[in-house]
Amino acid sequence: MEHKFEKLQERIGYRFKDRRLFERALTHRSYANEHPDQPDNERLEFLGDSVLNLVVSDILYTACQDATEGDLSRRRAHLVNSSALGRIARQIDLGDALLLGRGEISTGGVAKTSVLADALEALIGAVYLDGGYIEATRVVRAVCSEQIERVVNDQTPRDFKSELQELLQSMGQTPPVYSVLEQTGPDHDRRYVVAVKVPGSTEQTVTGSGSSKKQAEQTAAQQLLLQLSATATP
């Protein structure tokens, strides 16, 4: 395990002064339950979540001078959500150094996105306590470099459903309602058609299609956004 700890420190470019803090960041509660003398990483996860949000907000605020508050929030959300953090944790092979209980290991805990994302936040929290904000920022920039570049350059997929809801809210209208109209094809090639409608309006109803319900909803929301924008344009 010592070798795995050393390799992880090399991968994140930071060497801990307090070894116990480093080990705690990597200790899942399932391991702590089997080893009462070893505290789990949940308190560090709580701290790391806040540190990560601050560091990313700082980076985006400085790099995206023309972005609005809503735009900055959207970009940050693409980087600090569980799925994104899980991918980053896999890139640095964080799971290889995790301390998991026997039960968690047997159920594939080392590959679970939630476990990896939580551990990454705990690791960032530990770096902050061990080395301060500057070191925490440096580590975040190092391990999230590709993701940061994408959000700074706004190369992230748009969330049309959220944009539609925000637009309708600004117009004083009720949230949209989505319904599946059609579901065709075999399991490996499913196709969905979804309708989106603004309650109280018989005119503002459009459809979208996709290979998943989520994708079809996004397409329908995009179409309704275009329709509403065209209506609002003088």
* Dihedral sign for Cα atoms in the order 218, 219, 222, 228: negative
Helices (H), 64-109: 69-80, 82-91, 102-106
Of 40, 118, 121, 217, the catalytic one is 121
69 is an active site residue: no
Count of Cβ atoms closer than 10 Å to residue 35 Cβ: 12
Total number of residues shown for the chain: 234
Tokens 């904000």 belong to which residue? Answer: 133
**Residues with Cβ < 8 Å from 163, sequence gap 6 or more?**
221, 225
Of 40, 45, 49, 118, the catalytic one is 49
Rounded CA separation 97/110 (Å):
9
Tokens 């994104």 belong to which residue? Answer: 84
* Burial category of 68 from C-beta neighbours within 10 Å (exposed 0-12, middle 13-18, buried 19 and up): exposed
135 is an active site residue: no
Q: What are phi and psi of 13, to 5 degrees?
A: 70, 35
Q: Which residues are catalytic?
A: 49, 121
